[in-house]
Structure 1
């Protein structure tokens, strides 16, 4: 016999495709078999009043709780109930794109990011506007602010934009698109007390986020998930534990 102090790697098979991905640094992997309905037949008889004559315990599905703090697009999508979309925008150029100055002293979105070589002219192209006098630009985000202090630009004017924009690759999380994450989980664990292996296979569960995602918190973000274990077709249990003592 030995005590138990665990460490391990957690893998997830999202959407039950048979393709496991390492979740990264997982700080909690807990399964609770603690919920149950208790049915009792209680005595009303003189000598045994208040005693249980029969007790039946009806178990409820097991629950699982996860916490992790390695953040990538896939893990963030779990916490935001999101779907992942690949971003693959090639670089390019725009010439003479018309844009209405709908408001002054506010940032207007031009529709591309990572812009360079920006030139802004009047609609008839007779005037070329000067950066920091007539407008300011956030090139990375693709935002332009036309200034009320300018003597050349007025609200409602139409201007022409010419610029280059850089390539963008990455992943976009389309948040709130799923109600729950159906998956399988695998813990490749070890009892540090005696060095023996402890493997937990969750054949099917339905996860949901259990904490907010604070994009401006003062410490490392911790993602929390919880869910219900489900017995898949063809099995008699939702999970099993291979524990070597």
Structure 2
């Protein structure tokens, strides 16, 4: 450890952030590395009450007391994985599953210059016919296929007319995906740990925040010229029951 004054004490922070999301009973579920975080900060706010004397024509402050303290946290995420998106959208993890199979003559109504959603995703070997099956239409000339989402686009200048009943046959693959159900959680509460990088400039301190209530802050650019980011803010909650001597957070020096 360097003594003051010394350039070795100038601080330029880098490191890794971990989050342990508490379950509905307040129990630990394990610390997750949140990936690359370009910023992480703690803000301490002090509330005061002042008094001014009325004994002279000039109002002078004769006392000021601290009446409250608050601490908040803020960080930015750049890795768009499910766990981080749950934080960004107050989400709940869901699933999207589909067994493989095939469909014969699924009925849809054609709309020119529109995409029509089929009953399944991940489709292949698509065949589109008219209602009685006497005409088989040509892909790209009469319709297009979005195989991933399971949609059919009706080409305006093709042989299919607006409002026409079509029969669609296709195969579909199995799906087993984790999804994000947005705005399903009113709050996200858990433990935060910051571990400084070994090559960080300046003194290194590990940070442990016992209990933080987090929420999303700002917009997320799904279309943007810049790298997309997710900004998370939160309140540091007092946890005197489990940490009576340091109820909010602590900093641990590291060699």
Structure 2 CA distance for aligned equivalents of residues 148 and 24 of structure 1: 46
Aligned partner of 1:82 among 88, 91, 97: 91
Listed as ranges, the gaps of 5+ residues in structure 1 are none
Structure 2 CA distance for aligned equivalents of residues 43 and 92 of structure 1: 83
Q: Residues 71, 148 of structure 1: CA spacing in aligned structure 2 closer, same or farther, 3 A cutoff?
A: closer
Q: Residues 132, 189 of structure 1: CA spacing in aligned structure 2 closer, same or farther, 3 A cutoff?
A: closer
Q: Residues 56, 100 of structure 1: CA spacing in aligned structure 2 closer, same or farther, 3 A cutoff?
A: same
Aligned partner of 1:65 among 51, 70, 74: 74
Residue of structure 1 in register with 2:183 after alignment = 176
Aligned residues: 240
Residue of structure 2 in register with 1:166 after alignment = 173
Residue of structure 2 in register with 1:140 after alignment = 148
Shift of 1:112: 2.0
Shift of 1:243: 2.3
Q: Check conservation: 2:108, 2:116, Cα contact below 8 A.
A: no
Aligned partner of 2:49 among 39, 53, 65: 39
Q: Secondary structure at the match of 2:34?
A: strand
Listed as ranges, the gaps of 5+ residues in structure 2 are none
Q: Check conservation: 1:79, 1:223, Cα contact below 8 A.
A: yes
Shift of 1:32: 1.0
Residue of structure 1 in register with 2:219 after alignment = 212
Task: Please say if 1:111 is aligned against 2:119.
Answer: yes
Task: Please say if 1:120 is aligned against 2:120.
Answer: no
Query: Please, what TM-score do these two structures have when normalized by structure 2?
Result: 0.84
Q: Check conservation: 1:190, 1:198, Cα contact below 8 A.
A: no
Kindly provide the CA deviation profile for residues 69-115 of structure 1, in whole angstroms up to 9, marking residues without a partner as x.
222121122112222213332322111222222x2221111132221
- RMSD, matched Cα: 2.3
Shift of 1:135: 2.1
Task: Please say if 1:20 is aligned against 2:31.
Answer: yes
